[in-house]
Structure 1
Amino acid sequence: MHPNTPAVLHTPGFSQSNVAWSPFHTTRIAVASSANYGIIGNGRLYVASTLSSPSGTPGVKLDKFYETQDGLYDVAWSEVHENQLVTASADGSIKLWDVMLNTLPIRAWHEHTREVYDVDWSNVKKDQFVSCCMDGSVKLWTPEHPRSLMTLQAHHACVYQALFSPHQPDVIATCSGDGTIRFFDLRTPTFAPTSNAFTSPLSGAVLTVPAATSEELALDWNKYRPLVLASAGLDKTVKIWDCRMLQPGGPANAVGGRCENRILGHEYAIRKVQWSPHRPGPARKRLLRYDLWTTNPAPGKSQQIRIHDAHTEFVVGCAWSLYEEGVLATCSWDSKLNIFRV
């Protein structure tokens, strides 16, 4: 893939919300999108394939798309079935799709009462995925079960992302509009001892990190350093957290986590942050453009590698290829999916 010429997939009339590479097929990619920026109107799930030519010119081909009655905010591929994926919708539903079929989803769940912002499939317990909602709840699912396996009332504010740890199969991390990151052990769901179980019950977190005084919109686990993650949000800052004090099954409601690095430089809120799956150092975040950073130069220091003005509106999703190092997909409100080598 040529380093300076991105492959582009246009989705006219549908602003893109997030993008995901298949864990089974090196060229397959899915995009969640919404009409009218997800405020009102329907949604579309796009499935596409990257192309290569003898000349090295990149390309991307739309394979199919699926219509939904409300906007789609996120998409995640199954870790056990190569043709299946789940989507998160503005109407509170979660849908399971099979890309070998051309019409309706093969299953739909409707337990959430408000917008579902994120879905994440565990790559350790591969038969499970989680979803998080504007009402502060997080739910655990398996495709074979007609209802959720567990519900956590994780925050009193909107939960923007909930992610399985790549190291601890029963630990998830969440980030929220209340400015905190919380860690939950799914083996020991309890109510927080300081919450009122009748009027405002909260599930007991094994660790709470006061990350910001404003909304935290995104987080990602480091794949090489257990209990290290990055977060970002409205304060236009990416923070690297060392949370090795987390001991699953330990005292509930512990507060802590050391911020070992702050990365500045953005002019707007940061909607997405992602570590490289191929190297322990680089982290990625962006908005309007994407910036590539490395955390390697020295403790507490970060070095900007390059800036790409890849889009004309907010960049809200990015995903590194799981198979090709340096290949990145970014999606935006400008209805363009860009795939290029950095």
Structure 2
Amino acid sequence: MNPPSSSSAPYLRLNTPRFSHNNLSFSPYLENRFALASGSNFGLVGNGRVHIVDIDPNAPGGSGLRLVRYFETRDCVFDVAWNEQHENHIVAGCGNGAIKMFDVTLEGLPIQSWHEHSSEIMSIEWNNLNKDQFITSSWDSTVKIWSSNRATSLITLPSSKPQQLYNATFSPHTPNIVMSCGANGFIDIWDLRMGPGVKSPTLSISNSSSGSGQMEEVLYCDWNKYDSSLIASASKDGTIKVHDLRSAGRPGSARVVGRHDLAARKVFWDPHRREGLASSGYDMTCRVWNINQSTPSPIHVHSNHTEFVMALGWSLFDPGLLASAAWDEEVHLYRV
């Protein structure tokens, strides 16, 4: 039986000419607002943008999505995160290693800037428990913890060896626990309570291919919002895996729950259902999975993008509402 697809189902769409998308983030304050991290020329060269978009049934042209404002940056924007202490503030991680904070009620220049990373910032996330902190990961092989009240980073977490880091994320259960992943094929768990001098993760989980045993790059990782022992990963070989931290490293601790035809770029747990996962990839699809199924088969597929789907996100207020954005210069919203 073929999985249900939204190719024939209604969805909202917004086109942003000349700007492709790398990430998106729903506002934790306003149920109808999200932001896009974007760049010109697929992020290879040229400037970037932060697009602020509202879900609006009265939007021009009947698209259902209205571009509220955008902010220009000198380099590509690879990720965005909303300030958990201020509903109008958003931070952007840029390709030149800079972080910019914007106020969506103001036009023009950022209201605050940081610059310590020496290469592309691939992820940025605000801590939803310690609400004065945010985290970045970079291709310079470091993860950094920041405070909006300081001009310099609080902690720098080094990689075990030079590698491109793709993501770093705070645990939604314990504010001082951090997870990161990257090109070396490991998912690392860090405990920030060890202080600024922390040199190594408390746990490293290898992401090896079940067939060859070869290490596969981990392009994204995410914490389950209901079970602190479960994490999910998206890999270069296209697999979507669920890892059980209670038995990490033992046979059976990692389980393939989904697969893309090409590399899987993003994976996010459903914030409203323990068993739900969404993923996107270079096969130009977004797929939704139920981890309780005995065989990996998507319960929903969105195949309307015409380029790599780099951005994905669940609505925080509206269960079942999913957004995806791609290098085709479009963002889509649909129900799953």
Task: State the TM-score, normalizing by the size of structure 2.
Answer: 0.90
Distance change in 2, residues 1:325/1:93 (3 Å): same
2:232 aligned to 209, 230, 233, which one? 230
- Does residue 240 of structure 2 align to residue 244 of structure 1? no
How much has 1:204 moved relative to structure 2? 1.3
User: Could you tell me which amino acid in structure 2 is paired with residue 107 of structure 1?
Assistant: Q
Q: Are the aligned partners of 2:11 and 2:332 in contact in 1 as well (CA < 8 Å)?
A: yes
- Does residue 330 of structure 2 align to residue 330 of structure 1? no
Task: In structure 1, list runs of 5 or more residues that go unmatched.
Answer: 193-202, 247-254
How much has 1:168 moved relative to structure 2? 1.0
The SS at the match of 1:48 is strand
1:168 aligned to 154, 174, 178, which one? 174
Distance 1:122 1:310 in 2: 33
User: Could you tell me which amino acid in structure 2 is paired with residue 341 of structure 1?
Assistant: R
Distance change in 2, residues 1:330/1:257 (3 Å): farther
2:223 aligned to 221, 224, 228, which one? 221
> What does residue range 197-212 of structure 1 map to in structure 2 within 5 Å?
203-212=199-208
Q: Are the aligned partners of 2:257 and 2:291 in contact in 1 as well (CA < 8 Å)?
A: no
> What does residue range 244-283 of structure 1 map to in structure 2 within 5 Å?
244=246, 259-283=253-277
Distance change in 2, residues 1:148/1:265 (3 Å): closer
Distance 2:125 2:71 in 1: 20
How much has 1:280 moved relative to structure 2? 0.3
1:110 aligned to 102, 107, 115, which one? 115
User: Could you tell me which amino acid in structure 2 is paired with residue 282 of structure 1?
Assistant: G
The C-alpha deviation readout for 1:27-84, integer Å capped at 9, x for no partner, is 011001001111111001100100136xxx7600000101111000000111111001
Q: Which residue of 2 aligns with 1:132?
A: 137
How much has 1:4 moved relative to structure 2? 2.1
Identical aligned residues as a percent:
37
Distance change in 2, residues 1:260/1:178 (3 Å): closer
How much has 1:6 moved relative to structure 2? 1.5
Distance 1:114 1:292 in 2: 32
Distance 2:33 2:261 in 1: 33
How much has 1:183 moved relative to structure 2? 0.4
The SS at the match of 1:244 is helix
Runs of 4+ in 1 over 6 A off after TM superposition: none
The SS at the match of 2:181 is strand
Distance 1:78 1:47 in 2: 14
Q: Are the aligned partners of 1:296 and 1:302 in contact in 2 as well (CA < 8 Å)?
A: no
Q: Which residue of 2 aligns with 1:318?
A: 312
How many pairs align? 317
Distance change in 2, residues 1:234/1:45 (3 Å): same
Distance 1:28 1:306 in 2: 24
Distance change in 2, residues 1:215/1:59 (3 Å): same
2:27 aligned to 22, 44, 47, which one? 22
Distance 1:335 1:260 in 2: 35
User: Could you tell me which amino acid in structure 1 is paired with residue 291 of structure 2?
Assistant: T
Distance 1:256 1:205 in 2: 18
User: Could you tell me which amino acid in structure 2 is paired with residue 241 of structure 1?
Assistant: H
The SS at the match of 1:95 is strand
Distance 1:297 1:231 in 2: 17
The C-alpha deviation readout for 1:183-232, integer Å capped at 9, x for no partner, is 0001104778xxxxxxxxxx211000011312110011000111210001
Q: Which residue of 2 aligns with 1:178?
A: 184
- Does residue 143 of structure 2 align to residue 143 of structure 1? no
Distance 2:245 2:56 in 1: 40
Q: Are the aligned partners of 2:35 and 2:50 in contact in 1 as well (CA < 8 Å)?
A: yes
The C-alpha deviation readout for 1:303-327, integer Å capped at 9, x for no partner, is 4212221200000110000000011
Distance 1:172 1:265 in 2: 26
Task: In structure 2, list runs of 5 or more residues that go unmatched.
Answer: 1-7, 209-214
Q: Are the aligned partners of 2:144 and 2:154 in contact in 1 as well (CA < 8 Å)?
A: yes
The C-alpha deviation readout for 1:240-275, integer Å capped at 9, x for no partner, is 0000368xxxxxxxx669534203431110110011
Distance 1:245 1:296 in 2: 18
- Does residue 194 of structure 2 align to residue 188 of structure 1? yes
Q: Which residue of 2 aligns with 1:291?
A: 287
Distance change in 2, residues 1:75/1:257 (3 Å): farther
User: Could you tell me which amino acid in structure 2 is paired with residue 67 of structure 1?
Assistant: E
Distance 2:148 2:322 in 1: 29
Task: State the TM-score, normalizing by the size of structure 1.
Answer: 0.89
The SS at the match of 1:15 is strand
